[in-house]
Amino acid sequence: MRLIRPILAAAFLAHLAGAASALGSSGAYLAARHASYLNDFSQAAEYYTRALALDPSNPALMEAVITSDVNMGSLDRAVPVADHMADLGMNSQVAFMVQMADRAATGNYDAILTALDTSESVGALVDGLAKAWAYLGAGKVTEALAAFDAVASEEGLQSFALYQKAIALASVGDFEGADDILSGRAKGPLQATRRSVMAHAEVLSQLERPDAALALISDTMGSNPPPTFAAMVERLKAGETLQFDVVDGAAGGIGEVFHGVASALAGEAAPGYALLYARIAAYLNPDNIDAQLLCASLLEDMAQYDLAISAYDVVPRENPEFVSAELGRADALKEAGKTDAAVEALTQLAKTYPDLQIVQRQLGDTLRGLERYSEATGPYDRAIALVGTEQPADWTLYFSRGVTYERTDQWEKAEADFRHALRLSPAQPQVLNYLGYSMVERHEDLDEALDMIRRAVAAQPDDGYITDSLGWVYYRLGRYDKAVGQMERAAELMPTDPIINDHLGDVYWAVGRRMEAQFQWHRALSFGPEPDEADRIRRKLEVGLDKVLEQEGAKPLAVAKDG
């Protein structure tokens, strides 16, 4: 390692020199900042490196290069920069994280211990547990256990530290000691997490207690467990002994520490910060699929869909989480604009796993979102066929299929599905609104439609589309004065929606507010309506709403008797 570090540092400095000669502009820093703002890690790393070439001793630029490289998944590229910062005597949390990961990956546990005994620090929690794992990696078991206990004695850290101690014991074959901790017998109950349940089930299997492992999974994961646990159940029932593989040695243990921190940060801190820890976790234990999926999820949150796709691709086909990863990959492909690839991925998945409802549902949802309604009906048919005893939550399947029928002019089938959805969930505002609005557009059962939409508005009073529906049914019933207030409210809630502004214009026209109607129609045009809607709005601006209705063979505007 002592020979490698100078070589890497020299290569890094040579890279900077090359970047400097190719730069020709100090705008690299601004470009890097912009790329960072967009979470474009690849571009950020490139431009920060160029900026660093002009100012090679700038610690902020070095940290930015390291952060961009790690978040991009190129931790090896970050190591020379981190080492260079150390050579210059600079303190940097992110540089220390990278050095710790590099030393763990190469088995240099003494270097980790030396660094932690001096000034290097990733943070109190990581430092203490990494030290314990480094002791274990260096063969100093007594010191390792004492270090785990020291962290566990700190307020608020007991459960996390004891979990780490338990998997450390299991990694060296002390399954009885691991079970004492994970069962809560040693220090009281631990907080159950996905990783701790997985570890405990494997420990119980190693102790030849398969029934206890099955009971644990059932109690914590329910009767329909996630794929990884379903696979464990299947193997346990087949009489297999589960290998303990949550971690494999001290490097994987340090990776588990980073994974735990990443999981705690996800949803609480900026996604890019949580991603640093998740990337290191995946780097130190590539078999930790949970860490890989966490990386992918965080990247999706930051709209880095190509990187998310790459992270999902890491999950092997034989892994129980492959289906979850493929569903995530398909979603990332769709968000990246690669819709044909997304549909193809889901289509192949649906063929391979025809009995998985979630796959059929997501294929249907994706096709429906792409307005490929006739293609979406089949996947929904298959998803509904997989429903056992219907539950209230199944309303979504019937509603979604109903939309595909309605959009392909199969109204009787659509209405049947919408009403079935309401039988499952009678107060569902989405269904009430969609069915009610469709009935209004078809001029059918307007009083029933009005009741449905009123109930939908009462359930979701701040939904602009539903409020628009209520205004529109009043308009269809000729209750124009009532329609005005609802349409104005809808336009307040969704001021740039072309349809809502168009509707408000129609209502203004109906009550004689002609100039305001024309103003709203002009606004509707400015918000980019569909071509056929835009043509109709232009005709209203040219000849007025009454003439357009006459040309269309519709009934003229007339106030209802009951107002």
Is 185:216 a contact under the CB 8 Å cutoff? no
pLDDT tens track for 169-196: 999 999 999 999 999 998 878 888 999 9
What does the pLDDT average to over 332-359?
96
| Helix runs in 302-338, H state only | 305-313, 322-335
| Angle between helix 339-352 and 357-369 (nearest 10) | 160
- Sorted by sequence, the CB contacts under 8 Å of residue 232 that are 6+ apart come out as 198, 201, 202, 213, 217, 242
Region for 372 from its dihedrals, namely left if φ exceeds 0, alpha if ψ lies in -120 to 50, beta otherwise = beta
> Residue 387 to residues 8, 392, 404, 498: CA-CA distances in angstroms?
58, 12, 19, 38
Is 454:470 a contact under the CB 8 Å cutoff? yes
Instruction: Return the structure tokens found at 90.
Output: 């600079």
> Residue 171 to residues 19, 63, 179, 203, 271: CA-CA distances in angstroms?
45, 34, 12, 10, 31
Q: Is residue 3 very low, low, confident or very high in pLDDT (cuts 50, 70, 90)?
A: very low
pLDDT tens track for 76-124: 999 999 999 999 999 999 999 999 999 999 999 999 999 999 878 898 8
> Residue 249 to residues 138, 202, 282: CA-CA distances in angstroms?
11, 16, 14
> Residue 397 to residues 96, 223, 357: CA-CA distances in angstroms?
50, 22, 10
For residue 114, the 8-state DSSP code is H
What is d(CA 411, CA 420) in angstroms, rounded to the nearest whole number?
A: 14
Instruction: Return the structure tokens found at 26.
Output: 């100090």
Name the percent of the chain lying above pLDDT 70.
94
Question: CA neighbours within 13 Å on the CB side: how many for 304?
Answer: 28
| Residue 478 identity | G
What does the pLDDT average to over 127-143?
96
Q: Is the pTM of this model over 0.85?
A: no
Q: Is residue 26 very low, low, confident or very high in pLDDT (cuts 50, 70, 90)?
A: low
Give one DSSP letter per residue of 47-84, joined into a string: HHHHHHHHSTT-HHHHHHHHHHHHHHT-HHHHHHHHHH
Residue 11 neighbours by CB distance under 10 Å: 11
Is 444:418 a contact under the CB 8 Å cutoff? no
What is d(CA 494, CA 140) in angstroms, rounded to the nearest whole number?
A: 64
What is d(CA 128, CA 558) in angstroms, rounded to the nearest whole number?
A: 78
Question: 2 pLDDT exceeds 50?
Answer: no
> Residue 271 to residues 6, 123, 298, 558: CA-CA distances in angstroms?
33, 18, 6, 56
What is d(CA 425, CA 435) in angstroms, rounded to the nearest whole number?
A: 14
N-terminal to C-terminal alpha carbon distance within the chain: 86
For residue 394, the 8-state DSSP code is G
| Residue 126 identity | V
* Burial classification of residue 389, based on how many CB atoms lie within 10 Å of its CB (0-12 exposed, 13-18 middle, 19 or more buried): exposed
pLDDT tens track for 190-239: 888 999 999 999 999 999 999 999 999 999 999 889 999 999 999 999 99
Q: Say whether 395 sits in a helix, a strand or coil.
A: helix
- Sorted by sequence, the CB contacts under 8 Å of residue 79 that are 6+ apart come out as 8, 98, 99, 102
Instruction: Please give the residue that has the higher pLDDT: either 323 or 561.
Output: 323
Q: What is the pLDDT of residue 446?
A: 87
What is d(CA 485, CA 479) in angstroms, rounded to the nearest whole number?
A: 11
| Residue 426 identity | P
Q: Which of 2-11, 21-30, 324-333 has the lowest mean pLDDT?
A: 2-11
pLDDT tens track for 514-548: 999 999 999 999 999 999 999 999 999 999 999 99
Is 62:52 a contact under the CB 8 Å cutoff? yes
* Burial classification of residue 127, based on how many CB atoms lie within 10 Å of its CB (0-12 exposed, 13-18 middle, 19 or more buried): buried
b/e map of 412-436 (b: 16 or more CB within 10 Å)? eebbebbebbbebbeebbbbbbbbb
The residue behind tokens 């063969």 is 139
For residue 249, the 8-state DSSP code is S
The residue behind tokens 């359930």 is 459
Question: 24 pLDDT exceeds 60?
Answer: no
Residue 288: closest CA among 240, 254, 335: 254
- Sorted by sequence, the CB contacts under 8 Å of residue 2 that are 6+ apart come out as none
Instruction: Return the structure tokens found at 68.
Output: 């961009």
The residue behind tokens 């002019």 is 409
* Burial classification of residue 239, based on how many CB atoms lie within 10 Å of its CB (0-12 exposed, 13-18 middle, 19 or more buried): exposed
Q: What is the pLDDT of residue 561?
A: 40
